[in-house]
């Protein structure tokens, strides 16, 4: 079989390519793809800066998937997290994960530029005098929500580059949740408010078919034979 670069195909060709490879999937899996693709969104994306524990990064990636957030960007200056590290086995098949290479691509400021180039605002979660409560964020505005590591939070450099700093108001004596709980609260709130504001979930036609191709290729055994 000739190797193909499906990314260079027209929309119609991609649809035909997916129809072909999806024959390798079970009926249940194909139906599941059709159900789940309608609930994906790129209106909000998730970004993780210098996470210290792989299990926390994994938990946040699972949270993104649970709320239909398709894009997760990861910055780690120690290079402890990479595509081959196997973090969050399973969920990485369903979300698009972009790792920022600090050695070849630059530091935090460059990463912030990359995040903003998507057209989304950059919101970081932190407690400082300029932070806005989560409830004041306009859910109609596309945004990347960034969480920092468990001990230090997001870096001061990223705070300076952010469009907004946000926090979750607390009613008790504790000042913050752990990063996994915080992520769940923020994504649950924003995606719900997004829908209440009339912004429907779903991707463009081309993004939808490309995402299903990725899902299929990550699911089918020995899928390299198709590409």
Residue 170 falls inside a structural domain:
yes
Helix pair 179-196, 54-66: axis angle to 10 deg: 20
How many domains are there within the chain?
1
137-185 pLDDT tens trace: 999 999 999 999 888 899 999 999 999 999 999 999 888 888 999 999 9
CATH number, domain containing residue 216: 3.40.1280.10
Residue 79's pLDDT is: 60
Residue 33 falls inside a structural domain:
no
Residue 88's pLDDT is: 44
96-100 and 71-75 beta bridge pairing: parallel
Residue 209 falls inside a structural domain:
yes
Residue 123 falls inside a structural domain:
yes
25-67 pLDDT tens trace: 999 999 999 999 999 999 999 999 988 878 888 899 999 999 9
Q: Rounded mean pLDDT of the chain?
A: 89
Of 37, 21, 27, 53, which is closest to residue 94 (Cα–Cα)? 37
Residue span of the structural domain in which 135 resides: 40-220
Residue 25 falls inside a structural domain:
no
Residue 12 falls inside a structural domain:
no
pTM: 0.89
Residue 6 falls inside a structural domain:
no
Residue 164 falls inside a structural domain:
yes
């Amino acid at each position: 079989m000739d190797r193909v670069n499906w990314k260079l195909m027209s929309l119609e060709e991609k649809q035909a390519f997916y129809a072909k490879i999806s024959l390798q999937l079970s009926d249940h899996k194909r139906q599941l793809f059709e159900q789940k693709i309608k609930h994906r969104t790129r209106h909000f994306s998730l970004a993780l800066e210098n996470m210290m524990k792989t299990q926390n990064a994994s938990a946040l990636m699972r949270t993104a998937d649970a709320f239909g957030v398709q894009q997760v960007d990861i910055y780690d200056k120690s290079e402890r997290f990479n595509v081959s590290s196997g973090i969050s086995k399973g969920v990485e098949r369903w979300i698009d994960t972009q790792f920022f290479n600090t050695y070849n691509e630059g530091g935090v400021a460059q990463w912030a530029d990359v995040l903003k180039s998507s057209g989304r605002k950059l919101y970081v979660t932190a407690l400082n005098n300029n932070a806005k409560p989560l409830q004041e964020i306009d859910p109609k505005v596309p945004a990347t929500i960034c969480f920092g590591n468990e001990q230090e939070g997001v870096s001061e450099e990223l705070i300076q580059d952010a469009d907004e700093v946000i926090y979750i108001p607390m009613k008790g004596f504790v000042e913050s949740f752990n990063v996994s709980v915080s992520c769940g609260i923020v994504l649950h709130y924003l995606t719900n408010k997004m829908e209440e504001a009339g912004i429907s979930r779903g991707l463009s036609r081309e993004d939808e078919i490309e995402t299903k191709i990725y899902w299929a290729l990550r699911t089918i055994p020995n899928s390299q034979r198709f590409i």
